[in-house]
């Protein structure tokens, strides 16, 4: 009889630390395309992203103080008057 046992192994080096939500907190937010691939394919894509950013800002009362859009990633500097960075950025 062959016995198979499953093992759940977690590499703790790959676990992202928990984000702490702070009233009035300042955050540097960034995201990069998988394998550093492009995430914007022209001005229309950038405008669409900025529209989504504006909607997020209004919905969650997040202040966007700076942004930088690059072909394969972006950076944001945001402030959260309410402690809601995690919900806003999802």
> In whole angstroms, what is the distance from residue 65 CA to residue 36 CA?
25
CATH number of the domain at 21, please.
Answer: 3.30.70.1290
At 15 the pLDDT is 67
Has residue 68 been placed in a domain? yes
pTM of the model: 0.76
**C-alpha angle 73/26/71, rounded to 5°?**
10
Instruction: Return the beta strands (E) in the chain as ranges.
Output: 25-32, 63-70, 73-80
At 2 the pLDDT is 46
Has residue 53 been placed in a domain? yes
Range of the domain at 82: 12-89
At 89 the pLDDT is 86
Has residue 3 been placed in a domain? no
Look at the chain and report how many structural domains it folds into: 1
At 4 the pLDDT is 47
Has residue 4 been placed in a domain? no
Has residue 5 been placed in a domain? no
Per-residue pLDDT of the chain (90 residues; tens, 9 = 90+): 445 454 555 555 666 667 788 999 999 999 999 999 999 999 999 999 999 999 999 999 999 999 999 999 999 999 999 999 989 988
């Amino acid at each position: 009889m062959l016995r198979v046992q499953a093992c759940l192994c977690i590499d703790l080096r790959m676990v992202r630390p928990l984000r702490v939500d702070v009233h009035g907190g300042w955050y540097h937010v960034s995201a990069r395309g998988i394998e550093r691939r492009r995430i914007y394919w022209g001005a229309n894509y950038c405008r669409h992203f900025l529209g989504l950013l504006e909607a997020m800002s209004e919905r969650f009362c997040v202040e966007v103080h700076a942004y930088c859009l690059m072909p394969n990633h972006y950076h944001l500097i945001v402030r959260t008057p309410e402690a809601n960075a995690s919900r806003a950025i999802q």
